[in-house]
């Protein structure tokens, strides 16, 4: 099936950072280019040490990957075999299900209640064949977020033979004191793995850099399986600089929180049903599938690209990424000019 390409002025569909990479990350990448004829450090020592220093982690249990995608694939390939089961919430990041199917495992999809993850249903779904529970918190694409206490109780009740993969891609956009980035649950010899990415608040989606943090056994297994030079020298140097640019991180977080709330109120005032989100995006339900399609086409006609959710079975939903102020104002104007009354 051929792809139809069209030009857009405002790309608010992929949950990218509104401001792009930090100036320090850009400078580091440019400086690194002169050495791009050299292979990167095979163990990514500088980046792993920077992550360890930032979050007070054991450097020996950090694994660098090509975004979170590769880390998900490594975990499934290393710890799941054909016929095993992997538990995933109904509206979770699609890579979890894809990775499970690629090794012949059975994805066990747990129904959600109005786009909220059901922890008790996940626990009830565990069998002797369950190997991994995947969970993103905040969740993409729904924006749902679980508290530290709820997850602590969930881990207490999760059977010991099950690995818990906690995807905290959007942790840096949080403003809730009752949130955990998951590192507190990663023991030296435990079964919890935390995934993080530089694609979101750090603005390095095109660099494809992520990392995982787990037990010695899990980290060693992942490092044995990954390709020796799976991340680039330029990407690693940019990631180190981005990680330490606290001013840029705070600017991105503050901007996202402010405009996330404004977007929620705007959509609500126009008659749509936005779902509260803790990421840099917002899932919104429209009056009907027809209205959702009409809105997508209306925004496209105004050079604004957002994300339809039909691929998740949410045919009446769209997802909006938080952009810069001028992009959000353009979006608000386009939302207001939409024919709400005649497209139900």
Q: Which structural domain, as residue segments, surrounds residue 157?
A: 23-244
Are 174 and 195 found together in one domain? yes
Same domain, 220 and 260: no
Within a domain: residue 287? yes
Note whether residue 157 is domain-resident. yes
- For residues 262 and 319, state if they share a domain: yes
pLDDT on residue 122 = 98
Domain boundary among 244, 278, 295: 244
Strand 85-89 versus strand 130-136 pairing type = parallel
CATH code for the domain of 200: 3.40.640.10
Examine the domain organization and report whether 208 and 276 are in the same domain: no
* Contact between 302 and 278 (Cβ < 8 Å): no
Number of domains in the chain: 2
Instruction: Name the stretches of the chain with pLDDT < 50.
Output: 1-4
Nearest to residue 318, comparing CAs of 337, 334, 340, 294?
Answer: 294
Structural domain contains residue 156: yes
Same domain, 204 and 276: no
Contact 63/71 with Cβ under 8 angstroms? yes
**Among candidate residues 244, 273, 305, the one where a domain is terminated:** 244
Q: Identify whether 4 is part of a domain.
A: no
The reply to whether 49 and 80 lie within a common domain is yes
Q: How many CB atoms lie within 10 A of CB 207?
A: 24
Q: Looking at residue 274, what is its pLDDT?
A: 98
In a domain, 5, yes or no: no
SS3 for 278?
A: coil
Q: How far is C-alpha 321 from the geometric centre of its chain's CA atoms?
A: 12
Q: Which of 144, 214, 138 is nearest to 169 (CA)?
A: 138
What are residue 46's DSSP bridge partners?
none
- pLDDT value of position 328: 98
Q: Is 170 a member of any domain? A: yes
pLDDT score recorded for residue 270 = 97
Distance CA 55, CA 232 (A): 23
Same domain, 88 and 192: yes
Which of 137, 126, 117 lies closest to 160, judged by CA? 126
Residue 2 lies in a domain: no
Whether 195 and 212 have beta carbons less than 8 Å apart is answered as yes
> Is there a single domain that holds both residue 215 and residue 301?
no
- Strands 307-308 and 317-321 come out as antiparallel
Take residue 274 and report the two structure tokens written for it. 């936005």
Write down which residue in 192, 214, 244 finishes a domain: 244
What is this structure's pTM?
Answer: 0.94
CA dihedral 206, 280, 182, 53 (to 10 degrees): 50
**pLDDT score for 1:** 36
**Same domain? 238 vs 166:** yes
Asked if 238 and 272 sit in the same domain, the reply is no
My answer on whether 239 and 291 are in the same domain is no
Same domain? For 165 and 229 the reply is: yes
Q: Does 3 map to a domain?
A: no
What's the CATH code of the domain at 301? 3.90.1150.10
């Amino acid at each position: 099936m051929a792809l139809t390409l069209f030009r857009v002025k405002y790309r608010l569909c992929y949950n990218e950072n509104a401001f792009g990479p930090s100036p320090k990350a850009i400078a580091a990448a440019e400086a690194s280019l002169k050495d791009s004829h050299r292979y990167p450090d095979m163990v990514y020592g500088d980046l792993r040490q920077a992550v360890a220093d930032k979050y007070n982690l054991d450097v020996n249990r950090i694994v660098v990957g090509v975004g979170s995608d590769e880390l998900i694939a490594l975990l499934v390939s290393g710890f799941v075999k054909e016929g095993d089961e992997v538990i995933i919430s109904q509206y979770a990041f699609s890579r979890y299900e894809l990775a499970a199917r690629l090794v012949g495992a059975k994805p066990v999809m747990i129904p959600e209640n109005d786009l909220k993850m059901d922890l008790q249903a996940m626990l009830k779904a565990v069998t002797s064949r369950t190997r991994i529970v995947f969970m993103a918190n905040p969740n993409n694409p729904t924006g749902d977020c679980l508290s530290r206490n709820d997850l602590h109780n969930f881990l207490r009740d999760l059977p010991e033979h099950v690995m818990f993969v906690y995807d905290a891609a959007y942790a840096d956009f949080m403003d809730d004191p009752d949130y955990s980035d998951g590192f507190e649950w990663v023991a030296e010899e435990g079964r919890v793995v935390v995934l993080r990415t530089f694609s979101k608040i750090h603005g390095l989606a095109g660099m494809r850099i992520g990392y995982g943090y787990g037990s010695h056994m899990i980290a060693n297994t992942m490092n044995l399986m990954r390709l020796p030079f799976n991340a680039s020298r330029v990407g690693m140097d940019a990631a180190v600089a981005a990680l330490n640019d606290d001013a840029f991180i705070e600017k991105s977080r503050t901007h996202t929180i402010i405009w996330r709330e404004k977007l929620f109120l705007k959509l609500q005032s126009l008659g749509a049903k936005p779902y509260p989100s803790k990421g840099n995006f917002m899932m919104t339900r429209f009056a009907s599938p027809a209205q959702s399609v009409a809105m997508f086409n209306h925004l496209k006609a105004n050079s604004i690209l957002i994300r339809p959710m039909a691929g998740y079975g949410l045919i009446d939903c769209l997802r909006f990424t938080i952009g810069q102020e001028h992009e959000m104002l353009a979006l608000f104007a386009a939302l207001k000019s939409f024919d709400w009354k005649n497209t139900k």
